[in-house]
Amino acid sequence: MYLSLSAEGNPSNQVEVGESITINVTLNDIDPGWRVVWGVGMDLPENFSAATDFDFTPPMGRPLAQLSGINPLGNFGPEDFSTLMVSVPSNNSSTFSFSTTATSVGQSVFVAQGLAIGVGPGFGGISFVPLSAELTLDVQAPSSAPPSAAQTPEPSSLAIIGSLAGLTVLRRRRRG
């Protein structure tokens, strides 16, 4: 079993300030028939907002508990949280997701750490697996900035330039 983090619909791992993204936290390669209880503490970067819109959609897993502001990494920031999940025996992965918004420019590292405890079919085995995963995102300034005043002439300036061009044409016709 191993843990993975991904930014949904964002293969380039680049976001802009103000953009909201969905982070998927997935426990992969669960042995068939095993039931796994797994807990993860998430440390969100300082340039992202607190997690919102948690999605624990079955059948990928069921949440047992979720705590905001506390995680096993020793951080107790308002944007950090912990989640305890239980897998469904018929699936080979268990996942949850959450949304967060980029608040300032910079490279950002999402860190997840925890533990998975697996119990085999008919209690045929027990497995303890430490979990750890990171996701690095590059937060950039918004690319669709409105044009500056220096790039867009005022309508009155255009009227003056147009009038001067018209007078120049009339003057040349009278001389010629």
Q: What phi and psi values does residue 15 have, to the nearest 5 degrees?
A: -135, 160
Q: How many CA atoms lie within 13 A of 61 on its CB side?
A: 28
CA angle 147, 152, 156 (to 5 degrees): 150
Across 46-60, 110-124, 127-141, 143-157, which has the greatest mean pLDDT?
127-141
Q: What are the tens digits of pLDDT across the range 35-67?
A: 888 888 888 888 998 888 888 765 555 555 444
- Sorting pLDDT into bands at 50, 70 and 90, what band is 72? very low
Q: Which H helix or E strand runs over 135? A: strand 126-140
- Among the residue ranges 51-60, 68-77, 104-113, the one predicted with the least confidence is 68-77
pTM given for the model: 0.70
Q: How many CB atoms lie within 10 A of CB 25?
A: 25
